[in-house]
């Protein structure tokens, strides 16, 4: 066989290996193209941002040259820069932009890895059409699964559908049985709210075009939990010479387990999700991070993380160990529930309310020039906290008494035992004299 079968399970892996091998062979001559092929390609789609149009044009030429050496024809290019598109031949452009007059017409909306990208406005958009699914457990699951949300921009909105589905599972409603009367109004409002998703627009670029020089870059992670669910959200905060900008990077939400779990345990679980997301973001973002902060509105969790003297049960101890492995205790701070944007990930928010919330921009204090952080010296654990292990100590007091042979002999019930003990005593005394 000289080709790989289309649709075979091994074909994507072989194709990726071949492309990365090709990039590795040409990394000295074409370092820019090699870096793009190795780190910014997803199966057959490549996504990257460059500092200038000249760098983008240079990258297009280099990557086409490298791919041609392996017999690969790289094409279907699209960019939000009209200068870059003019430098690319018409035959090499994406099909949606071939008939566009770059001098007058607006750039179209393209799909990028399952998300709609408004090329003209350079924003991600969500035009999700809710199919007419029956109001059953099977239909709601189909609707929830149809929302592609890899970065969690719509995580609070999706949580409402997940909560409805979980409530049906809790009541043991069959897959094709209709919704109960108390869940139907929530489901109908959630389905009608799909139309409001069209108004959601998330800027693709983390930094505005006119931002200027960046003085410092910070990551801020927020976590929260409730009886409904738990989750986290991360923001990139840029401090420039004249302004500050903050934008949502990723959000994650999960429904609370059906089995009853205490709020402190859910809050700690949300905190570890935040710590894991921090580790992942630092690996994926090609940005030098100058500072990192973790925020939670649970002082109990802060007490767990900072405590050194108490021993906890296995669940809490393992979570604390993981958090300390991925972050430092000094990076964790308290934020009020009113300012915590992760509150949306724990309760769920309709799309109409999401646009007016602090979900996409972050809390107001992140937009201040200087962060006002109120540092507590210690976060004390509550007396009688059920997660703290009870420590039992024993003490023994010994009292020396003078040796009395008559008393010792009275403890033996057999003559042979008494004779043996007396013989050992005489032997010890003899050895000491020697």
126: Cβ–Cβ under 8 A, 6 or more apart, which residues?
A: 115, 116, 153, 154, 197, 198, 200
Which pLDDT value is given to residue 433? Answer: 74
Mean pLDDT, the chain, rounded, equals 87
Q: What is the pLDDT of residues 343-366, one digit of tens each?
A: 999 999 998 888 888 999 999 999
Rounded Cα distance between 350 and 158, Å, is: 9
Q: What is the pLDDT of residues 132-150, one digit of tens each?
A: 888 889 999 998 988 888 8
Q: Which token pair is 296? A: 């939670």
Rounded Cα distance between 149 and 162, Å, is: 14
Which pLDDT value is given to residue 384? Answer: 67
Provide the pLDDT confidence category of residue 377 given band limits of 50, 70 and 90.
Answer: low
Can you tell me which residue has the tokens 């003209």? 120
Torsion of the alpha carbons at 194, 195, 199 and 201, rounded to the nearest 10: 40
DSSP assignment string, 130-165: -----SBHHHHHHHHHT---TT-TTHHHHHHHHHHH
Which pLDDT value is given to residue 7? Answer: 81
**Helix runs in 70-213, H state only:** 82-87, 137-145, 155-170, 184-192
Helix, strand, coil shares of the chain, percent, nearest 5, are 40, 15, 45
The alpha carbon of 76 is separated from its chain's Cα centroid by a whole number of angstroms, namely 32
DSSP assignment string, 8-64: -TTHHHHHHHHHHHHHHHTTTT-HHHHHHHHHSEETTEE----SSHHHHHHHHHHHH
Rounded Cα distance between 329 and 220, Å, is: 15
Rounded Cα distance between 305 and 303, Å, is: 6
Burial class (CB in 10 A: 0-12, 13-18, 19+), 236: buried
Q: Which token pair is 234? A: 């991360």
Going from the C-alpha of 111 to that of each of 2, 96, 271, 308, 327, the distances in angstroms are 32, 10, 33, 50, 36
Most confident listed range (57-71, 104-118, 311-325): 57-71
Q: What is the pLDDT of residues 197-240, one digit of tens each?
A: 888 899 999 988 888 889 999 999 999 999 999 999 999 999 99
Q: Which token pair is 93? A: 């452009």
Compute φ and ψ for 222, nearest 5 degrees.
Answer: -120, 140
Rounded Cα distance between 366 and 298, Å, is: 19
The model's pTM is 0.83
Q: What is the pLDDT of residues 181-200, one digit of tens each?
A: 888 999 989 988 888 888 88
Burial class (CB in 10 A: 0-12, 13-18, 19+), 1: exposed
Most confident listed range (105-114, 259-268, 309-318): 259-268
Which of 325, 317, 324, 310 minimizes the C-alpha distance to 383? Answer: 310
In the chain, the domains with their CATH numbers are 11-119 (no CATH), 137-199 (no CATH), 207-367 (3.30.420.10)
Q: Among the listed ranges 80-94, 253-267, 409-423, which one has the minimum average pLDDT value?
A: 409-423
Q: CB of 77 within 8 A of CB of 142?
A: no
Rounded Cα distance between 136 and 176, Å, is: 5
Provide the pLDDT confidence category of residue 375 given band limits of 50, 70 and 90.
Answer: low
The rounded percent of the chain whose pLDDT value lies above 70 is: 94
Which pLDDT value is given to residue 131? Answer: 77
Q: CB of 132 within 8 A of CB of 124?
A: no
Provide the pLDDT confidence category of residue 155 given band limits of 50, 70 and 90.
Answer: very high
Rounded Cα distance between 297 and 356, Å, is: 21
Question: Helix/strand/coil (H, E, C) string of 275-322?
Answer: HHHHHHHHHHCCCCCCEEEEEECCHHHHHHHHCCCCCECHHHHHHHHH
Q: CB of 291 within 8 A of CB of 333?
A: no
Which pLDDT value is given to residue 40? Answer: 87
């Amino acid at each position: 066989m000289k080709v790989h079968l289309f649709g075979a399970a091994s074909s994507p892996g072989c194709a990726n290996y071949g492309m990365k091998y090709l990039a590795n062979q040409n990394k000295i001559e074409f370092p820019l193209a090699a870096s793009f092929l190795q780190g910014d390609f997803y199966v057959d789609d490549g996504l990257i941002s460059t500092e200038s149009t000249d760098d983008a044009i240079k990258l297009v030429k280099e990557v086409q040259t490298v791919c041609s050496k392996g017999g690969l024809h790289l094409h279907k290019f699209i960019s939000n820069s009209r200068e870059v598109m003019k430098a690319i031949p018409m035959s090499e452009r994406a099909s949606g932009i071939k008939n566009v007059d770059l001098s007058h017409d607006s750039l179209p909306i393209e799909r990028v890895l399952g998300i709609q990208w408004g090329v003209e406005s350079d924003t991600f958009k969500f035009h999700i059409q809710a199919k007419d699914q029956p109001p059953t457990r099977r239909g709601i699951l189909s609707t929830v699964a149809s929302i592609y949300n890899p970065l969690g921009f719509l995580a609070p909105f999706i949580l409402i559908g997940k909560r409805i589905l979980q409530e049906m599972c809790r009541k043991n409603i069959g897959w094709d049985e209709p919704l109960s009367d108390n869940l139907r109004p929530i489901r109908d409002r959630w389905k009608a709210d799909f139309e409001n998703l069209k108004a959601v627009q998330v800027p693709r670029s983390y930094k505005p075009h006119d931002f200027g020089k960046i003085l410092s870059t910070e990551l801020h992670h927020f976590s929260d939990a409730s009886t409904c669910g738990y989750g986290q959200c991360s923001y990139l905060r840029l401090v420039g010479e004249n302004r500050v900008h903050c934008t949502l990077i990723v959000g994650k939400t999960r429904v609370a387990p059906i089995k009853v779990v205490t709020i402190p345990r859910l809050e700690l679980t949300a905190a570890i999700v935040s710590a894991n997301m921090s580790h992942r973001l630092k690996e994926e973002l090609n940005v030098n991070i100058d500072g990192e902060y973790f925020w939670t509105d649970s002082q109990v969790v802060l007490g767990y993380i900072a405590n050194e003297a108490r021993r906890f049960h296995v669940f809490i101890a393992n979570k604390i160990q993981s958090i300390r492995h991925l972050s430092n205790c000094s990076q964790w701070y308290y934020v009020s529930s009113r300012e915590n944007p992760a509150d949306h990930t724990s309760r769920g928010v309709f799309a109409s309310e999401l646009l007016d919330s602090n979900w996409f921009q972050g809390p107001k204090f992140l937009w201040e020039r200087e962060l006002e952080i109120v540092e507590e010296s210690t976060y004390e654990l509550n007396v009688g906290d059920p997660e703290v292990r009870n420590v039992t100590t024993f003490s023994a007091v010994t009292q020396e008494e003078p040796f009395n042979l008559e008393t010792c002999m009275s403890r033996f019930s057999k003559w042979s035992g008494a004779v043996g003990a007396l013989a050992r005593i005489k032997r010890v005394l003899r050895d000491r004299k020697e």
